[in-house]
Amino acid sequence: MGTRRKTGAGHTFRRVMTAALIVALVALSAAGCSAPTSKASAPAAEKAPIKLGAVLSLTGTYAGLGVPERNAIEMEVARINAAGGIGGRSIEVVYEDDATDPAKAQAATTRLIEREGVLGIIGATGTGQTMGMRADIDRAGIPQVSMAGGNAVTAQFDKLVFQTPWPNRIVVPFTLDFMKKAGITTIALLTDSGGYGKDGRQVVLDDVAKYGVTVVADETFNAGDTDMTTQLTKIKAKAPQAVWMWAAGKEGAIIVKNAKDLDPSGSMRIFGAPGNGRTEFIDGAGAAAEGFTFAAGRILAPDSYGRGTKAFKVATDFIGRYTQKYGKAPDIFAGHAYDAISILADALKRAGSDADSAKLRDAIEATKGLVGVGGTFDLSATDHNGLTAKDLVMYRIEGGVWKVVE
């Protein structure tokens, strides 16, 4: 009997605790609901933070890109807030993971707009995800700063959408110019059939004629493929002077390794794209990466900014702080994220801390001479990227590290 009464008492106790918990939760959420009004009536002692959203690929194929992006944003937001925020208001970023899936990127955008009421959105990591967000961005009328390198992001112009990496329309002519000077006239393309590679391939096909270059083979692969020997065997039969691959993930390392096996003498030079500027690529490809050439921004070799210039200071400051905090030098993707948050913070300063989304958009578009790590951003009503070929350099992998090609 005693034990039964005991358990009965336990039940009652648990029920009381549950009820108390529910009451507490309801009270808390009610307080949460009334918070904005009470804060608005109070003097500006504690202003509500400026809320921004970030849609990043923290899982899936582009996880290796999205994670450094989040690192850079977190670090910069903490720095801005420690320095007093924007006009006395701190910045708060709500992070969403799109799992490298355009549909999830769209769902995340809806959530950020409807539930979080963000002023603007950073993201996405990838081109496909960035494009997937557009309908909701347009509907809500909030500005979006993307970190994806696809041409479509700003070529299919939208007055709300901005882009921090060098789009393919800058990268491709820059690389083709380099090839022309190196005497390369026949190339083969080996591109990812997904967003980034498809975008790059189209720009290359549109531009080659201007540089007197002919595409003799045009092969593709699918994300996740584990062997490219077949495509490269077909390419080798056409004997091009160079193979231009467009791959951001681990497929890039597979391609250079397979190419090395089929062509040990290196009669075909291998070119790539900014997405190959990752140490994982060199780790994966090993010795086969030697001689691999690609265009990217100056962040991989900060000396190339020119010692003593403002860009050099901005970049080395960012690289130093990032390396100290995360124990690893930032890659180009961390740089794109740094630029995205810098553009937003700069625009917020000019628009005022109480600006709405429309004013913020106008201020972003008016960005002039903002020195970031990807280059100097000069935005306008017709150019929502603002970078030029001057912000790019050619790199060649020598001795397992990137070297700037003069």
Return d(Cα 357, Cα 344) in angstroms, integer: 11
DSSP state of 48: P
Least distance from C-beta 365 to another protein, angstroms? 34
Least distance to another protein, CB of residue 107, Å: 18
CA torsion 112-274-185-204 (nearest 10°) is 0
Strands 293-297 and 370-371: unpaired
**Binding to another protein by residue 323, rule CB under 8 A?**
no
* Residue in 227, 303, 354, 398 binding another protein, rule: CB under 8 A: 227
Interacting residue with another protein among 231, 293, 342, 357 (CB under 8 A): 231
CA 240 to CA 94: how far, in whole Å? Answer: 48
Nearer to another protein, 279 or 316 (CB): 279
Contact pick of 264, 308, 369, 399 for another protein (by CB under 8 A): 264
Binding mask 170-199 for another protein (x = CB under 8 A): -----------------------x------
Query: Is residue 147 at the binding interface for another protein, with CB under 8 A as the rule?
Result: no
- Residue closer to another protein by CB (options 46, 261) is 261
Q: Are 216 and 238 in contact (CB under 8 A)?
A: yes
CB 341 within 8 A of CB 77: yes
> Per CB under 8 A, does 330 bind another protein?
no
| Long-range pairs, 101-108, Cβ under 8 A, ≥24 | 101/60, 101/129, 102/128, 102/129, 102/131, 102/132, 103/132, 104/129, 105/55, 105/129, 105/130, 105/132, 105/133, 106/132, 106/133, 106/135, 106/136, 108/55
Least spacing, CB of residue 115 vs another protein, in Å: 24
Q: Report the residue from 50, 61, 248, 384 that binds another protein according to the rule CB under 8 A.
A: 61
Interface with another protein includes 60 (CB under 8 A)?
yes
Footprint (CB under 8 A) of another protein, residues 265-304:
280, 283-284, 286
Smallest distance from another protein to CB 148, Å: 17
Q: Would you count residue 63 as binding another protein (CB under 8 A)?
A: yes
CB of 128 to another protein, least distance (A): 16
| Rounded-to-integer distance, Cα 84 and Cα 12, Å | 50
First-to-last alpha carbon distance for the chain, in angstroms, is: 90
* Tokens, residue 232: 């490269």
* C-beta closer to another protein: residue 336 or 384: 336
Amino acid at 81: N
Residue 217 CB contacts under 8 Å (≥ 6 apart), including other chains: 188, 189, 234, 235, 238, 240
Q: Which of 12, 18, 34, 222 binds another protein (CB under 8 A)?
A: 222
Among 178, 221, 305, 322, binds another protein (CB under 8 A): 221
How big is the site for another protein, counted in residues (CB under 8 A)?
Answer: 34
CB of 244 to another protein, least distance (A): 15
The answer to whether 58 contacts another protein (rule: CB under 8 A) is: yes
The span from the CA of 123 to the CA of 81, in Å, is 21
Q: Rule CB under 8 A: which of 236-255 touch another protein?
A: 237, 249-250, 253-254
Interaction between residue 59 and another protein (CB under 8 A): yes
Among 139, 159, 234, 403, binds another protein (CB under 8 A): 234
Question: Which residues, in sequence order, are CB contacts of 341 under 8 Å at separation 6+?
Answer: 72, 73, 76, 77, 80, 122
Does position 158 bind another protein by CB under 8 A? no
The token pair that represents 394 in the structure block:
């050619």
186-192 and 144-146: which strand pairing? Answer: unpaired
Nearest to 154 by CA among 381, 346, 389: 381
Position 66 contacts another protein (CB under 8 A):
yes
Strands 214-221 and 186-192: parallel
CB-wise, 7 or 265, nearer to another protein? Answer: 265
Q: Pull the structure tokens for residue 269.
A: 């030079």
Closest to another protein by CB, 74 or 92? 74
The site for another protein (CB under 8 A) is made up of 58-61, 63-64, 66-67, 193, 219-222, 224, 226-227, 229-231, 233-234, 237, 249-250, 253-254, 257, 261-262, 264, 280, 283-284, 286
